[in-house]
């Protein structure tokens, strides 16, 4: 234990300036509606699926339309191919108009054809109709760019491709037809193409039919989802109405029977919170009853003392009576002060100022020196290092004062009382440190079985040696807890008297709520 300091030379470190902690003025956060979130998460993917499906359906519809019209195109190609003759080494074609007629449709699609040979050039048709390019690529891009695979070139099979021609988009059927005549080398290329009005119309019609079916399905699904979400959230709505319709004083638990299992923990947590509020309210009601009762007694005494004084004619006795009234009034004022302190420590906002507890306790001890002298008690203070704590200065002064008051009040004359402030490190690091205030005295102490009960409000062990209200230790505990700390009672040094120890979180420590 550090040496006890000379109290007439208070040279401790002064309290740090208050920490300015501006009130949180963040704008209120936008609340997300569960119903909206669920609907968005369910309906948005449904919409996306519809979009993808529309693209796929259109592609499939186009393929189906192509398949239907390609057959006619291929028929025309074969009809032309059958009309190829060779006369005197010259290739001739007797173009069958029936072949072109079969391609006619309601959409006035235009027909383009071309028959050409590598050696004899254009035989008939539109000479600039783009030829298929031999290539290796596959798929849509190949079909559109007019490339034919080498397989199609060598096996003489009819094939199809799409190409642009004079600003129009053509679908062309083509075939390399081998000619087995002496003197003629290379295959004949036959191409016949048409614009795609009819195909596109058919594809659009197929798409529309499928979209109507899907649309009905989607609307039905969306209605089901919306209904499901509203139905699932029904219990929450009912819960909200139940809570909103409650009497403000009704702190009974909410019924958790009809809520979904996901919400049960929330209802349980709310019920647990309500139970704590109920306990607190009950305790406060009890405290108010006790306080009123405690105040009634001294006020009744003052009244009867005043009644007596009114009837007293002897000036000396009257003076003594008025003195008694003054004393009772002083004691009552102290009781009121204690009740206010308790109410304040219960309701005080979170502690906010950084204070040096060493300096604060030294000053309070100094203030009590006259009482100590009057009672012939050796009151001393020990504590050299500054011990910063975060807290309310008035309440912490009250805490120290109550402990010194008790020590001086219950220690017989000639005794010793020591107030000490120090920092305790539970581990080697600074993170786990606490500020410790100890008040030791050499008085009668408190029996082990009374050490918990003396913290109850208005409780005084039978035969307490000095007058009091039974509130001092209750105030000390309420203030300590308000600051995140705790109070303990032990035997005093060398097993004599009482040691009261208050632990408070040190500023900068693990539990500092800064
Ligand atoms: N230092 C002490 N030594 C011995 N007994 C003590 C000491 N401090 C408290 N006590 C016992 O604990 C009881 C409760 O103390 P507490 O301070 O709460 O109330 P009080 O001192 O009786 O009244 P007051 O409200 O005026 O402080 C006291 O009545 C006393 O019997
Ligand atoms: Mg007391």
Please indicate, yes or no, if residue 270 is contained in any of the structural domains. yes
- Per-residue pLDDT of 369-408, as tens digits, reads 999 999 999 999 999 999 999 999 999 999 999 999 999 9
Pairing relationship of beta strands 168-177 and 159-165 according to DSSP bridges? antiparallel
202 closest CA partner among 66, 70, 53, 51: 66
Q: How far, in Å, from the CA of 416 to the mean position of ligand 2?
A: 17
Give the whole-angstrom CA distance, residue 499 versus residue 417: 10
Q: Which of 332, 347, 362 delimits the end of a domain?
A: 347
Give the whole-angstrom CA distance, residue 42 versus residue 87: 72
Write the CATH number for 375.
Answer: 3.30.565.10
Nearest CA to ligand 1 atom 4: 445
Q: Are 186 and 304 in a shared domain?
A: no
Q: Are 465 and 429 in a shared domain?
A: yes
With helix as H, strand as E and coil as C, how does 206-268 read?
Answer: HHHHHHHHHHHHHHHHHHHHHHHHHHHHHHHHHHHHHHHCCCCCCCCCCCCCCCCCCCHHHHH
Residue 11 is predicted with a pLDDT of 40
Q: Are 89 and 137 in a shared domain?
A: yes
Q: Are 387 and 500 in a shared domain?
A: yes
Nearest CA to ligand 1 atom 20: 470
Atom of ligand 1 nearest to the CA of 460: 29
Give the whole-angstrom CA distance, residue 174 versus residue 160: 6
Q: Are 437 and 338 in a shared domain?
A: no
C-alpha torsion angle, residues 501, 505, 510, 511 (rounded to 10): 110
Please indicate, yes or no, if residue 496 is contained in any of the structural domains. yes
Q: Does the beta carbon of 439 sit less than 6 angstroms from any atom of ligand 1?
A: no
Please indicate, yes or no, if residue 38 is contained in any of the structural domains. no
Q: Are 129 and 91 in a shared domain?
A: yes
Q: Which of 292, 319, 347 delimits the end of a domain?
A: 347
Under a CB-based contact definition with an 8 Å cutoff, are residues 5 and 383 in contact? yes
Q: Are 360 and 277 in a shared domain?
A: no
Give the whole-angstrom CA distance, residue 471 versus residue 375: 22
Q: Which residues of the chain have pLDDT under 70?
A: 1-30, 134-155, 348-351, 426-431, 509-514
Instruction: Identify the H or E element spanning 441.
Output: strand 433-441
Q: How many domains does the chain have?
A: 3
Q: Which residues line ion ligand 2, judged by CB < 5 Å?
A: 406, 468, 472
Nearest CA to ligand 1 atom 1: 407
- φ, ψ for residue 488 (rounded to 5)? -135, 150
Please indicate, yes or no, if residue 32 is contained in any of the structural domains. no
Residue 305 is predicted with a pLDDT of 94
Token look-up 């050490």 returns 451
Please indicate, yes or no, if residue 444 is contained in any of the structural domains. yes
Q: Are 308 and 370 in a shared domain?
A: no
Q: Which of 324, 347, 370 delimits the end of a domain?
A: 347
194 closest CA partner among 65, 42, 287: 65
Nearest CA to ligand 1 atom 27: 472
Please indicate, yes or no, if residue 6 is contained in any of the structural domains. no
- Boundaries of domain holding 113: 52-204
- φ, ψ for residue 169 (rounded to 5)? -105, 115
Q: Are 336 and 294 in a shared domain?
A: yes
Please indicate, yes or no, if residue 252 is contained in any of the structural domains. yes
Token look-up 């011990």 returns 387
Helix, strand, or coil here: 308?
Answer: helix
Q: Per the structure block, which two tokens stand in for 140? A: 């849509």
Q: Are 193 and 56 in a shared domain?
A: yes
355 closest CA partner among 296, 446, 435, 238: 435
Q: Are 423 and 276 in a shared domain?
A: no
Q: Does the beta carbon of 401 sit less than 6 angstroms from any atom of ligand 1?
A: no
Residue 429 is predicted with a pLDDT of 54
Nearest CA to ligand 1 atom 16: 472
Residue 232 is predicted with a pLDDT of 87
Residue 135 is predicted with a pLDDT of 57
Q: Are 302 and 363 in a shared domain?
A: no
Atom of ligand 1 nearest to the CA of 338: 25
């Amino acid at each position: 234990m550090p040496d006890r300091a000379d109290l007439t030379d208070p040279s401790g470190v002064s309290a740090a300036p208050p920490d300015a902690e501006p009130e949180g003025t963040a704008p209120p956060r936008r609340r997300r509606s569960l119903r909206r979130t669920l609907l968005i998460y369910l309906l948005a993917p449904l919409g996306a699926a519809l979009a993808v499906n529309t693209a796929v359906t259109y592609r499939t519809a186009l393929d189906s339309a192509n398949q239907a019209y390609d057959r006619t195109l291929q028929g025309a190609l074969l009809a032309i191919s059958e009309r190829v003759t060779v006369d005197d080494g010259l290739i001739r074609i007797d173009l069958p108009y029936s072949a072109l007629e079969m391609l006619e449709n309601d959409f006035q699609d235009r027909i383009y054809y071309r028959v050409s040979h590598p050696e004899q050039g254009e035989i008939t048709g539109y000479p600039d109709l783009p030829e298929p390019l031999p290539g290796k690529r596959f798929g849509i891009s190949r079909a559109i760019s007019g490339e034919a695979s080498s397989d199609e070139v060598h096996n003489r099979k009819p094939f199809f491709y799409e190409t642009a021609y004079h600003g129009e988009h053509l679908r062309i059927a083509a075939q390399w037809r081998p000619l087995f005549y002496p003197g003629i080398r290379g295959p004949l290329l036959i191409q016949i193409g048409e614009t795609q009005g009819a195909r596109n119309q058919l594809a659009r019609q197929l798409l529309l039919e499928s979209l109507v079916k899907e649309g009905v399905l989607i609307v039905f699904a969306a209605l089901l989802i919306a209904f499901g979400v509203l139905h699932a959230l029904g219990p929450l709505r009912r819960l909200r109405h139940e809570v909103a319709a409650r009497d403000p004083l009704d702190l009974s638990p909410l019924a958790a029977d009809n809520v979904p299992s996901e919400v049960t923990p929330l209802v349980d947590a709310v019920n647990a919170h309500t139970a704590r509020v109920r306990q607190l309210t009950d305790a406060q009601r009890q405290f108010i009853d006790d306080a009123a009762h405690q105040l009634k007694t001294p006020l009744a005494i003052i009244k009867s003392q005043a009644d007596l004084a009114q009837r007293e004619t002897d000036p000396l006795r009257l003076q003594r009576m008025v003195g008694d009234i003054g004393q009772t009034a002083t004691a009552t004022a102290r009781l009121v002060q204690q009740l206010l302190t308790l109410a304040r420590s219960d309701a005080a906002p979170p502690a906010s100022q950084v204070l040096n507890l060493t300096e604060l306790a030294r000053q309070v001890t100094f203030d009590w020196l006259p009482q100590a002298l009057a009672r012939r008690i050796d009151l001393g203070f020990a504590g050299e290092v500054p011990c910063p704590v975060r807290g309310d200065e008035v309440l912490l002064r009250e805490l120290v004062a109550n402990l010194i008051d008790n020590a001086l009040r219950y220690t017989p004359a000639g005794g010793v009382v020591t107030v000490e402030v120090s920092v305790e490190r539970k581990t080697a690091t600074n993170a786990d440190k606490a500020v410790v205030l100890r008040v030791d005295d050499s008085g009668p102490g408190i029996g082990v079985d009374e050490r918990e009960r003396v913290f109850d409000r208005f409780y005084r062990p039978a035969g307490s040696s000095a007058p009091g209200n039974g509130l001092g230790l209750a105030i000390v505990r309420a203030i300590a807890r308000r600051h995140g700390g705790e109070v303990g009672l032990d035997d005093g040094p060398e097993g004599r008297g009482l040691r009261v120890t208050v632990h408070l979180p040190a500023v900068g420590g693990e539990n500092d709520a800064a």
